[in-house]
Amino acid sequence: MNLEALPRFHLAEFPTPIQHLELFSKACNGPAIFMKRDDITSLGMGGNKTRKLEFLIGEALKQGKDTLVTAGGLQSNHCRLTAAAARKANLSCHLVLNGERPESPNGNLLLDKIFGANVHYCERKERDRRLNQIAEDLLATGKNPYVIPVGGSNSIGSVGYVSAMLELDTQLKDMQIKLDAIVFATSSGGTQAGLTLGAKINSFKGQVLGISIDQTKTGEESFPPVLTEIANATAHRIGFPLQLVEEDFSLNCDYLGAGYAMPGDIEFNAIRDLAQYEVILQGPVYTARAMGGLINLIQKEYFRKGQAVLFWHTGGTPELFAWANELQSIV
């Protein structure tokens, strides 16, 4: 296995730090809680998608592409960081966002525009068709587009989180920390596929638990087979002789609430608590839903005193400003 042989475009400074959340751990009255701070990668207000984009843009440049095309929700962190990464790589960028054009863009959408992305709006059910149509239209005008799947979740992007797991392993050894679990937000599957594969490669003995923030299904397929497909394709890409099965993935779908991008008390309370105990901010769509799930699991004693749990902060802080009115209820 040689990750260094794969095309890669430098976008951020790694490793991201691990912090012991001492006050928050005490308040939760459960395990020692550590945090991997992928929210402070240096590109475009930070986030985990930077890890995937380093390999995706590396591949795009290798193929001579001049334009990035991808899709997501109105407050997509992936789209915001794709727009930022395109600027760094001197590429054009087109984003297909499911939702209506707002009168006044804020949060990630505002940053998409500041970074110079071309934004297209559509209904969610039309998103894939629009994505492909825009790529075809660009080709017809002489452009050479590179289409990135939603969330950057394929065998190329997931290499970024295999690499991240290797990074974490070195840090844990240096800090003499033995983890019982790693917890994070999961959506399109690339992060979870990469982390789980990386955990297998490193012989990590703890649980790698993804808390779903929007769905138990992707299209017509159930989510575990999607994770398995991405992970095994990634293993093949990096030349590691390993085949994962559905049972290798830990997935919790108990915190979907009212649905994707519809945060409620569990997310807003998690935002308030982490901010007031540790001065760390979270976005309400992704990380706060996963953190709210972690808090609830501690309350249920799924995780207990004497254990050590790492929460992987995958970013999303700009989302906060899209829910400014709702957040007034917690301050």
Q: Which residues are catalytic?
A: 76
Q: Report whether 218 contacts 192 (CB < 8 A).
A: no
Q: What is the DSSP letter of 301?
A: T
Radius of gyration of the chain (CA): 19
Which distant-in-sequence residues (6+ apart) come within 8 Å of 232 by Cβ? 242, 243, 244
The burial of 213, by beta-carbon neighbours within 10 Å (0-12 exposed, 13-18 middle, 19 or more buried), is given as buried
Rounded Cα distance, 68 and 291, in Å: 31
Rounded Cα distance, 21 and 11, in Å: 27
Rounded Cα distance, 168 and 316, in Å: 21
Tokens read off for 198: 């990386």
Rounded Cα distance, 166 and 5, in Å: 16
Cis peptide before 241 (omega within 30 of 0): no
Tokens read off for 295: 């808090």
